[in-house]
């Protein structure tokens, strides 16, 4: 069974750094793209970017390029999303999801439970 377990909710202040995680199991981590999706409070889904853990090839949506960093540690089948300087507008639920197959364009059939990030002074 494919499982994606995300790290717990975070409350941070503007300007702080943060790294959230997505631990996976039940499939070949290194051969399937894994992505991150943002959902701001009461809003829709936004595709942030994807990473291929096998070689760490990473692609970002233009909207998120330079704003976040996506990484992966294949030794522990875990993907990460990090910020160097959080802003209040980063307050959102963040989901990780793994692709259906080895194609970067493939959809996400498996999702984590979400990590709520709250940024407030």
Q: Which is nearer to other proteins, 93 or 119 (CB)?
A: 93
Among 89, 55, 85, 57, which residue's Cα sits nearest to residue 70? Answer: 57
Q: Please say which residue, 49 or 83, places its beta carbon nearer to other proteins.
A: 49
The residues binding other proteins (CB under 8 A) are 37, 44-47, 50, 59, 61-63, 95, 97, 100, 104-109, 111-114
Beta carbon of residue 79, minimum distance to other proteins (angstroms, whole number): 15
The residue among 101, 58, 61, 96 whose CA lies nearest residue 79 is 96
If the CB atoms of residues 63 and 120 are measured against other proteins, the closer one turns out to be 63
Nearest-approach distance from CB 46 to other proteins, in angstroms: 6
What would the 3-class secondary structure string for 58-85 be?
A: EEECCCCCCCCEEEEECCCCEEEEEECC
CA 105 to each of CA 33, 77, 101: distance values in angstroms, whole numbers, following the listed order = 9, 21, 9
User: What is the closest distance, in whole angstroms, from the C-beta atom of residue 70 to other proteins in the complex?
Assistant: 12
């Amino acid at each position: 069974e494919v499982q994606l377990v995300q790290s717990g909710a975070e409350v941070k202040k503007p300007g702080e750094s943060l790294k959230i995680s997505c631990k996976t199991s039940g499939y070949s981590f290194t051969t399937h793209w894994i992505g991150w999706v943002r959902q701001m409070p009461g809003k829709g889904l936004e595709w942030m970017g994807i990473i291929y853990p096998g070689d760490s090839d990473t692609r970002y949506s233009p909207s998120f390029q330079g704003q976040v960093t996506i990484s992966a540690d294949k030794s522990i089948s875990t993907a990460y999303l990090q910020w160097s300087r959080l802003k209040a507008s980063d307050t959102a639920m963040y989901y990780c999801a793994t692709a259906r197959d080895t194609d970067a364009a493939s959809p996400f059939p498996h999702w984590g439970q979400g990590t709520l990030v709250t940024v407030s002074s």
